[in-house]
Amino acid sequence: MFGDLIEAGWRGSMLGYGEARVGDGHDFWPGESRALARATPARQAEFAAGRAAARQAFRAIGMVPYAIPMGADRAPVWPNGIVGSITHHEGRCMAVIARRSVLAGLGLDLAALDPLAEDLWPAVLTEVDRNWLSMQEKSLRGGYAQVIFSAKEATYKALYPQSRRVVGFDAMDIVPDLARNRFTAVLRIPFGPYPAGSSLLGQVFCRDGLICTLMALPISGECGGIVAKNAELEMQCFQPETV
């Protein structure tokens, strides 16, 4: 679904992408089903499809696929030396992975491009977020608020393994740059090696009524600059493109 955009943006084969559909009969691998013994069949099918997407992502960068159990915090347990992210939405499952020597973290989110309910705005949007929205066309603000929500989800997924901190949506400000399919996440609190005030560059695309956001964290020492020190990470994953 968004694989062509993800794959086209990477120089070489540093990022693996995979996707799968719920209901296609995906199986659990050893160790994966233990945490879902009491889950509903629908949740089990979603979990299995997400893991199938992740194994496709392993193959995309020439790696042998692995079982991916769920940890006590419900986050995927990736093999040593791997970072990754899995997302689900209405039967679609997508996953991205990379070697830890290339990226410090990955966060992927897929959501419907529907207006975010205004009663959720106080919980999701910071003052910076609301100020940016106030400068946009009124009829578009609900959809843009949903983009901000998705961008925070993707950024948090990428950052969580750094600190294992459970935080609120006020932990970061999001400044979209939709003309270039980008967003900047500015951290209001520290996450592991990323201090408060760090600016992280993510990517956002809209297609077929869906939003896809991805945060690819640069390795330590490359955070906060416009141009990455490692040329292979410049602009991270997506090339600017209008969809």
Beta-sheet strand order (sheet of 92-99): 15-21, 92-99, 82-89
What is the model's pLDDT at position 162?
Answer: 85
Percent of the chain's residues with pLDDT above 90: 69
User: Which pLDDT belongs to residue 12?
Assistant: 47
Q: In whole angstroms, what is the distance from residue 144 CA to residue 67 CA?
A: 36
pLDDT class of 52 with cuts at 50, 70, 90: very high
Handedness of CA 70, 75, 80, 84 (dihedral sign): positive
Average pLDDT of the chain to the nearest whole number? 86
Residue 94 pLDDT greater than 90, yes or no: yes
* pLDDT at residue 88 tops 50: yes
Higher pLDDT, 77 or 25: 77
pLDDT for position 8 = 56
The pLDDT of residue 6 is 62
More confident residue, 221 or 82: 82
Q: Is residue 207 pLDDT above 70, yes or no?
A: yes
Q: Per-residue pLDDT for 33 more than 70? A: yes
Whether 210 and 110 have beta carbons less than 8 Å apart is answered as yes
pLDDT of residue 9: 53
Model pTM? 0.87
Mean pLDDT, residues 106-119 = 96
pLDDT on residue 14: 83
pLDDT tier, 220 (very low <50, low <70, confident <90, very high otherwise): low
Axis-axis angle for helices 127-134, 141-163 (nearest 10): 150
Amino acid 223: pLDDT: 47
Taking residue 171's Cβ as centre, other Cβ atoms within 10 Å add up to 20
DSSP string, 48-88: HHHHHHHHHHHHHTT-------B-TTS-B-PPTTEEEEEEE
The arithmetic mean of pLDDT across residues 204-230, rounded, is 73
User: What mean pLDDT do residues 63-71 have?
Assistant: 93
Residues 121-146: what's their mean pLDDT?
Answer: 97
What domains sit in the chain, N to C, each tagged with a CATH number?
Answer: 3-233 (3.90.470.20)
pLDDT of 37 reads 82
Residue 240's contacts (CB-CB under 8 Å, 6 or more residues apart) are: 180, 181, 182
User: So what's the pLDDT on residue 241?
Assistant: 31
User: Cβ distance 29 to 51 under 8 Å?
Assistant: yes
Q: In the predicted model, what is the mean pLDDT of residues 43-71?
A: 94
